[in-house]
Structure 1
Amino acid sequence: MTPVVAFNELSKWYGNVIGVNKLTLTIPAGVTGLLGPNGAGKSTLLQIATGQLRPSQGTVRVLGEEVWGNARLNRFIGLCPEQDRFYEWMTGWDFVHTCARLSGLSRAEAREAAARTIDSVGMTRHQGRAIRGYSKGMRQRIKMAQALVHEPQLLFLDEPFTGTDPVARRDLMDIVLRLSDAGKSVILSSHVLHEVQSLTSRVVLLNHGRLVAEGHVREIRDLIDKHPHHIVLVCEQYRQLAARMMEWPDVEGIRVLSQQNGLMVETRAPDAFYGRLPELSMADGLAIQSVYSDDDNLEAVFKYLVNK
Structure 2
Amino acid sequence: MIELQNTTKLYGRVIGVNDLTLALPAGAFGLVGPNGSGKTTLINLLIGQLRPTLGTVRIFGEDPWRQRDLIRRVGLCPATDILYPNVSALEWVQYLVRLHGFSLPESKRLAEIALHRVGMTAAMHRVIGSYSLGMRQRTKIAQAIAHEPEFLILDEPYNGLDPVGRYEMTELLKTWTAEGRGLLFASHVLQEIEAVTSSFLLIYGGRVLATGTAKDIESILAETPQEIRVIGRDAPQLIHRLAEMPWVDSLQLLSERTELKVALREPVHFYEQVAGWISEDGLRIDRITTADGNLAAIFSSLLKHHRGELS
| TM-score category (smaller protein) | 0.7 to 0.9
Following TM superposition, by how much is the alpha carbon of 1:70 offset from its aligned partner in structure 2, in angstroms?
A: 1.0
Matching of residues 180-219 of structure 1 within 5 Å:
180-219=177-216
The equivalent position to 2:283 in structure 1, one of 284, 288, 303, is: 288
Change (3 A) 1:248 1:48: closer
- Within the alignment, does 1:97 sit opposite 2:94 as a pair? yes
CA deviations on 1:65-96 (whole Å, 9 max, x unpaired) are 22112123122111111223554433221222
Change (3 A) 1:271 1:19: closer
AA partner of residue 211 (structure 1): V
Q: Where does residue 46 of structure 1 map in the other structure?
A: 43
AA partner of residue 287 (structure 1): G
* Larger deviation, residues 205-214 vs 72-81: 205-214
Q: Where does residue 227 of structure 1 map in the other structure?
A: 225
Q: 4+ residue runs of structure 1 moved beyond 6 angstroms?
A: 295-298
* Larger deviation, residues 255-264 vs 136-145: 255-264
Q: Where does residue 139 of structure 1 map in the other structure?
A: 136
Inter-partner Cα distance in structure 1 for 2:150 and 2:37: 26
* Larger deviation, residues 179-188 vs 210-219: 210-219
Contact 1:11/1:22 (8 A) holds in 2: yes
Q: Where does residue 76 of structure 2 map in the other structure?
A: 79
Contact 1:220/1:301 (8 A) holds in 2: no
Inter-partner Cα distance in structure 1 for 2:151 and 2:102: 17
> What is the identity percentage for the equivalent residue pairs of Structure 1 and Structure 2?
38
The equivalent position to 1:12 in structure 2, one of 5, 9, 18, is: 9
Inter-partner Cα distance in structure 1 for 2:6 and 2:70: 22
* Larger deviation, residues 134-143 vs 241-250: 241-250
Change (3 A) 1:236 1:116: closer
Q: Which one has a bigger Cα radius of gyration?
A: 1
AA partner of residue 292 (structure 1): I
AA partner of residue 232 (structure 1): V
Following TM superposition, by how much is the alpha carbon of 1:204 offset from its aligned partner in structure 2, in angstroms?
A: 2.0
Report the 3-state secondary structure (helix = DSSP H, G, I; strand = E; otherwise coil) of the residue aligned with 1:116: helix
Inter-partner Cα distance in structure 2 for 1:280 and 1:111: 64
Contact 1:19/1:44 (8 A) holds in 2: yes
Contact 2:9/2:16 (8 A) holds in 1: yes
Inter-partner Cα distance in structure 1 for 2:82 and 2:227: 45
- Within the alignment, does 1:58 sit opposite 2:55 as a pair? yes
Q: Where does residue 149 of structure 2 map in the other structure?
A: 152
- Within the alignment, does 1:177 sit opposite 2:174 as a pair? yes
Contact 1:54/1:68 (8 A) holds in 2: yes
Change (3 A) 1:113 1:304: same
Following TM superposition, by how much is the alpha carbon of 1:49 offset from its aligned partner in structure 2, in angstroms?
A: 0.4
Report the 3-state secondary structure (helix = DSSP H, G, I; strand = E; otherwise coil) of the residue aligned with 2:101: coil
AA partner of residue 27 (structure 1): L
Report the 3-state secondary structure (helix = DSSP H, G, I; strand = E; otherwise coil) of the residue aligned with 1:126: coil
- Within the alignment, does 1:111 sit opposite 2:105 as a pair? no
Change (3 A) 1:97 1:258: closer
CA RMSD of aligned residues (A): 3.2
Following TM superposition, by how much is the alpha carbon of 1:60 offset from its aligned partner in structure 2, in angstroms?
A: 0.7
Inter-partner Cα distance in structure 1 for 2:279 and 2:16: 54
Inter-partner Cα distance in structure 1 for 2:294 and 2:171: 21
Contact 1:7/1:26 (8 A) holds in 2: yes
Change (3 A) 1:65 1:261: same
How many residues in Structure 1 have an aligned counterpart in Structure 2? 301
Change (3 A) 1:124 1:254: closer
Inter-partner Cα distance in structure 2 for 1:215 and 1:297: 22
Change (3 A) 1:158 1:242: closer
Structure 2, gaps ≥5 residues long: 305-311
